[in-house]
């Protein structure tokens, strides 16, 4: 038995075959319940996942990270005893001690959703282009400001069952992060942010948020807010 039998990690993966087994095996040292959604990978991601003991769900074609997260959350919600749900990146950036402290906040009934932030306690590790894009995204988004968020596009989130059951991600690509924040801002759920450590390896930097994708995020926020008016 584990202290975290009621926690499920949801990991979206797309062509992460070189690292996904290590990421999952490391996470399973603390969290026994993990579902990895192979989002139409063309490499050996699925085969690598099968060696780890994690649950594997596969999209036949690449649908985007938002769709993979929704698939994973829907799967985890159906599992017996599941009460807490963490979204966790496949590239090794997220750290299990951060998930542990986030889960404990939910167990203490201090919030319904705990979001990770790279900017509450700045360590200087965030690449400057990413820092500018992410801080700008949090500043210009009315929904992020409503929640007083400092990092509206951090992929490390932990939700209790009440919040996870209400969440419906419809935006398939990276814009799902803006959709999640918009949902939280109007949901009435209790949301808090905590500082987290992000490990930026050469691999994760190569796979991470490009400047073009960052501009796309800002453009998406602009369109969403304009549509709401």
Continuous segment of H or E residues that includes residue 38: strand 34-39
Task: Average the pLDDT over 111-119 and give the result.
Answer: 94
Strand partners, 85: 8, 159
Distance CA 122, CA 197 (A): 9
Per residue in 11-27, pLDDT (tens digit) is 999 999 999 999 999 99
Distance CA 146, CA 132 (A): 20
Mean pLDDT taken over the chain: 85
List of residues 6+ apart from 209 with CB closer than 8 A: 130, 133, 134, 153, 174, 217
Distance CA 174, CA 220 (A): 10
Task: Average the pLDDT over 44-49 and give the result.
Answer: 98
Q: Compute φ and ψ for 216, nearest 5 degrees.
A: -60, -40
List of residues 6+ apart from 206 with CB closer than 8 A: none
Per residue in 157-175, pLDDT (tens digit) is 999 999 999 999 998 766 8
Task: Please list the helix, strand and coil fractions of the chain in percent, rounded to the nearest 5, in that order.
Answer: 45, 15, 40
Q: Residue 40 pLDDT > 70, yes or no?
A: yes
pLDDT at 139: 54
* Angle (deg, nearest 10), helices 211-228 and 176-187: 40
**CA distance readout (Å), 134 to 75, 127, 199, 226:** 30, 11, 16, 20
Strand partners, 35: 10, 55
Q: Residue 129 pLDDT > 80, yes or no?
A: no
The pTM score is 0.84
DSSP 37: E
């Amino acid at each position: 038995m584990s202290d975290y039998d009621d926690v499920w990690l949801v990991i979206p993966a797309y062509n992460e075959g070189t690292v996904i087994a290590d990421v999952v095996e490391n996470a399973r040292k603390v969290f026994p319940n993990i579902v990895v959604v192979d989002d139409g990978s063309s490499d050996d991601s699925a085969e690598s996942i099968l060696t780890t003991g994690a649950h594997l769900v596969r999209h036949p074609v690449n649908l985007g990270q938002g769709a993979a997260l929704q698939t994973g959350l829907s799967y985890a919600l159906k599992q017996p005893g599941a009460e807490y749900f963490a979204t966790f990146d496949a590239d090794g950036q997220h750290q299990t001690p951060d998930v542990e402290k986030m889960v404990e906040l939910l167990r203490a009934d201090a919030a319904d959703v705990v979001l990770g932030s790279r900017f509450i306690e700045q360590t200087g590790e965030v690449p400057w282009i990413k820092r500018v894009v992410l801080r700008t995204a949090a500043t210009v988004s009315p929904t992020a400001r409503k929640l007083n968020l400092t990092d509206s596009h951090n992929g490390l989130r932990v939700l209790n069952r009440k919040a996870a059951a209400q969440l419906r991600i419809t935006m398939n690509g990276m814009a799902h992060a803006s959709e999640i924040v918009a949902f939280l801002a109007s949901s009435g759920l209790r949301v808090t942010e905590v500082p987290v450590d992000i490990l930026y390896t050469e691999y994760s930097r190569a796979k991470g948020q490009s400047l073009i994708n960052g501009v796309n995020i800002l453009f998406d926020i602009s369109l969403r807010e304009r549509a709401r008016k």
